[in-house]
Structure 1
């Protein structure tokens, strides 16, 4: 490591040590400093063996300062980051704003209302993250209500009900109750009958085009003045399945001259010929529209606060007419903008993902290329990391962008200290060894935790190096955990020099794997599968265990077959790449 790099490491270490000490008003912790230091400065990672020795003294000097001295020094080095810390201290303890009129309710009651047409993609996590966090803050209540009253256009997937509850559990939340709207049709029918008796709804057999022309011109439908007895009779025929799809609907009487045409006499029930996939609901043909079903359920369940997209403002207004008819008080509503998530080539749409899976372009909902929670979970990303990222977006009505790097940074902070290190060489080049190197390499399992011990890696007569790490002729290179070698006549000759050659900045540090006793690995990534070979100890890890492949990134062990050391592709150890 040259003097310039050494100075940069020490300067960055001082800044992060001060940030840690000032934020928590205590001594800086080596483990807490290493993660952010390496995360903000990825170029330091290839010198990971030398960095802990450099920063230990820096952290010691920081901890010798009084709090006021630490703050003054941080203001000198990083005034903007100090300001952020102090702004956080002055702000409310919560990342989310207070719910409107929260004090007016004995209990905060919220609902997460997914359409079960497939497992959740990443964007879906925002709703349960926010609702679950509000529940915890207010000691409230929330339910999952599956809005599954469209068996045709957004046809439910029978496996999605449980899959969504599994996703919710992965995020760290448990609902207080679970409902399926398709179990509650008799409730919706009863309220429709009451509305008809009030004169608040009418049956309409106009075609969609005919009614659209009338609506847009502010003219009343010719069926609008039917007597309640006729309307009720025709509605019972709808329930009985007398009409075909598109032949009859039930409309809510609103204001036919309302300035917003979307609110004029909207449809509450329609006929659908396609049977519902759930056996309990397959006989029904008269189905409520979401605005009707949701409005009734929100009142019956006692929902006090609704969070929904800004594009659904008209839903609240349509449902307001129902609440006025029944004399109910409408829940508080928080509207937010859409969240856009980067890093994926695949469109974040349940229907699109389902088509890609059916066409074989994705292996399943947990394919690493799929922007789904199942995929993130299989890659070893913790639900807490996703929730924290979603909470950080707040509830602004503006569209917001979420970088996956934010989720990765959160996850790195959660797993870095507990995740041991290993070597993986991707598409390696075999290089013979000479000069009598040690028979076994003993790099640490974790650079910050000497107490965990070392790995035992047999060296043999050759190693595998990645193409970018191959040295030039006569150039020296440090094989991590093994020693210094000079590349001479197509052979790496062991020189026996100590780590000081690395600290002086003359020798690059690279990872490696033994050519003979390494294990084949297939690493599944967002860009496709990558093959390589890893140090033999990786074969002893358990499924679901996390590992950090040095200079490559974090990964979750997915499959450890017997006979993993064979060259057969069937015996590959499979890992899912999480992030750098």
Structure 2
């Protein structure tokens, strides 16, 4: 490792020297090395002599030789990428109005968040208006807790809306536009059975009702509203083309009757409900200028344009982007609300914010910062192509942000007691953060003689092996078993490092909940008792983690990432 650090330091020393008249600074080079290799931060004291040697060697060279040797190294990765931001919206005329329109049938995931954030950021970019609209006209899908859950998650990532619309509050508006559609000859009431409708669509055969007179359709429509038909006995359809190449455009259904389930907000007040395309076409046509959504809605866009044209409503600019496919090797539940619902019903997970599911609530619970999610969404923007993203990419963004702010603590998984004989009196002073001494430090005092600490079972040395207890001293292991016995072996920096937790009174039990479903059980150092719910810390050499609860005798963490 020493040679690797030397080469890295030498590379940065050359660049720093050339930029400063031939003399490199140890501090500046150290900073560059730790930026490129953040894993070396815990070994900062050990690598300082190596970095000093590299700087001395570079400073001994003439400036011309330094410039010549720089040509042997690639510095392209050090150049900061220009932040491009979101591309311009098409056909901006006047005030920009965007919207995010979730169905309150679950918590939002990354795909939903992309649509919400992109829409919000464009409204912000143009000084426009952002609308939150709940699409809840299928009474079987929405549930009351999800309305507030969506609001909470949007606010948690910094999204505020200028206006909120709940579609189930606007049924009379939809009924008025349905009547207008019928009067214009653009819609008709169909009383075919569902089976017959499917058959005729498949055979590109027109429905016998599509040629009914406007007056007859209006009478049938009024009968639907008055309750003369039962569920499945009548629908309102859009008159387009029964032989259209796209089956979705063969006179699609716009309204249907639902009497088997009450709406969670309005109960049985209504029984004729608009389908997605009708309510969406009307709402978007009443002032939304730009709709940003997934390309799976392209066929819907064609239907909605027809509805808007017939009703004399405005047609917004539609910007369709590709799917986002997130690969997370840690998560044990796939992305998709149907998978999460199933896991909930089967008792596999505790809720939508469970660490094992890929929802926004879960990511926030784990310690993924709101600004990380925002940066990630801004980075991918409204690209038309499908995007395959490894969660490691998001973790990488988050890691850079947390690394500069998270306090450090020792956590030992599967603890084994270690007894060190012949140890001198020693005071271990452990900074909460290597770069922020103002954070303070943890201090542990050991008297001369026998010292007792916990180490992890996975770090258990072999008899005769010499290792270093991090920031403490070296030991030589003499005996292993349920208790490990060792002898003090000096203070020179050498050997494999392992972390430890002092055996002080009652050690604080800790568990880390991993997205795979595994629970990492162990002990955490005494100073962790100061942690509060929501604090994000680094469990050294283990992971970044967020405090779920601190019960005094036990602290539970959510695993964020390494």
In the aligned structure 2, how far is the partner of 1:390 from the partner of 1:497?
Answer: 48
Partner of 1:524: 513
Q: Kindly indicate whether the alpha-carbon contact (under 8 Å) linking 1:31 and 1:417 is maintained by their aligned counterparts in 2.
A: no
Q: 1:574 to 1:17 in 2, by over 3 A?
A: farther
Partner of 1:381: 368
In the aligned structure 2, how far is the partner of 1:70 from the partner of 1:186?
Answer: 78
Partner of 1:10: 9
Partner of 1:450: 437
The reply on whether 1:50 has 2:46 as its aligned counterpart is: yes
Range moving further from structure 2, 449-458 or 309-318: 449-458
Could you list the per-position Cα deviations for residues 461-515 of structure 1 after superposition, in whole angstroms to 9, with x for gaps in the alignment? 32222233222333221211212222234522223323xx33xxxx112211113
Q: Kindly indicate whether the alpha-carbon contact (under 8 Å) linking 2:9 and 2:29 is maintained by their aligned counterparts in 1.
A: no
Structure 1 gap ranges (5+) = 22-26, 565-571
Q: Which among 488, 494, 516 is matched to residue 494 of structure 1?
A: 488
Partner of 1:205: 191
Q: 1:420 to 1:141 in 2, by over 3 A?
A: same
Superposed displacement of residue 370, structure 1: 1.1
* TM-score normalised by length of structure 1: 0.86
The reply on whether 1:189 has 2:175 as its aligned counterpart is: yes
Range moving further from structure 2, 246-255 or 427-436: 427-436
What is the SS of the residue equivalent to 1:318?
helix
Range moving further from structure 2, 488-497 or 179-188: 488-497
Range moving further from structure 2, 249-258 or 106-115: 249-258
Superposed displacement of residue 550, structure 1: 0.9
Partner of 2:411: 424
Partner of 2:77: 81
Structure 2 gap ranges (5+) = 21-25
What is the SS of the residue equivalent to 2:401?
helix
In the aligned structure 2, how far is the partner of 1:578 from the partner of 1:347?
Answer: 17
Superposed displacement of residue 57, structure 1: 8.8
Partner of 2:498: 510
The reply on whether 1:326 has 2:305 as its aligned counterpart is: no
Q: Which among 358, 371, 380 is matched to residue 371 of structure 1?
A: 358
Superposed displacement of residue 9, structure 1: 5.2
Q: Kindly indicate whether the alpha-carbon contact (under 8 Å) linking 1:167 and 1:374 is maintained by their aligned counterparts in 2.
A: yes
In the aligned structure 2, how far is the partner of 1:236 from the partner of 1:579?
Answer: 58
Superposed displacement of residue 431, structure 1: 1.5
Q: 1:282 to 1:206 in 2, by over 3 A?
A: same
Q: 1:150 to 1:547 in 2, by over 3 A?
A: same
What is the SS of the residue equivalent to 2:533?
coil
What is the SS of the residue equivalent to 1:159?
helix
In the aligned structure 1, how far is the partner of 2:501 from the partner of 2:464?
Answer: 21
In the aligned structure 2, how far is the partner of 1:244 from the partner of 1:263?
Answer: 26
Across the two proteins, how many residue pairs are aligned to each other?
542
* Two-structure CA RMSD over aligned residues (Å): 3.1
Could you list the per-position Cα deviations for residues 86-112 of structure 1 after superposition, in whole angstroms to 9, with x for gaps in the alignment? xx44xxx5333221112xx21111110
Q: Kindly indicate whether the alpha-carbon contact (under 8 Å) linking 2:432 and 2:439 is maintained by their aligned counterparts in 1.
A: yes
Q: Which among 381, 386, 397 is matched to residue 410 of structure 1?
A: 397
Superposed displacement of residue 16, structure 1: 11
Q: 1:12 to 1:334 in 2, by over 3 A?
A: farther
Partner of 1:317: 302
Superposed displacement of residue 407, structure 1: 1.4
Q: Kindly indicate whether the alpha-carbon contact (under 8 Å) linking 2:30 and 2:51 is maintained by their aligned counterparts in 1.
A: no
What is the SS of the residue equivalent to 2:371?
helix
In the aligned structure 2, how far is the partner of 1:100 from the partner of 1:263?
Answer: 26
The reply on whether 1:474 has 2:460 as its aligned counterpart is: no
Q: Which among 134, 144, 148 is matched to residue 158 of structure 1?
A: 144
Partner of 2:120: 132
Superposed displacement of residue 168, structure 1: 0.5
Partner of 2:529: 539
Partner of 1:568: none
The reply on whether 1:245 has 2:245 as its aligned counterpart is: no
Superposed displacement of residue 61, structure 1: 11
Range moving further from structure 2, 464-473 or 229-238: 464-473
The reply on whether 1:398 has 2:385 as its aligned counterpart is: yes
Could you list the per-position Cα deviations for residues 180-217 of structure 1 after superposition, in whole angstroms to 9, with x for gaps in the alignment? 11111111000000111111110001122322332333
Partner of 1:335: 320
Range moving further from structure 2, 233-242 or 330-339: 233-242
Q: Output aligned runs, 1:214-293, within 5 Å.
A: 214-293=200-279
* TM-score normalised by length of structure 2: 0.88
| Larger proportion of strand | 2
In the aligned structure 1, how far is the partner of 2:207 from the partner of 2:259?
Answer: 25
In the aligned structure 2, how far is the partner of 1:364 from the partner of 1:178?
Answer: 26
Q: 1:277 to 1:269 in 2, by over 3 A?
A: closer
Partner of 2:108: 120
In the aligned structure 2, how far is the partner of 1:176 from the partner of 1:442?
Answer: 51
In the aligned structure 2, how far is the partner of 1:435 from the partner of 1:308?
Answer: 68
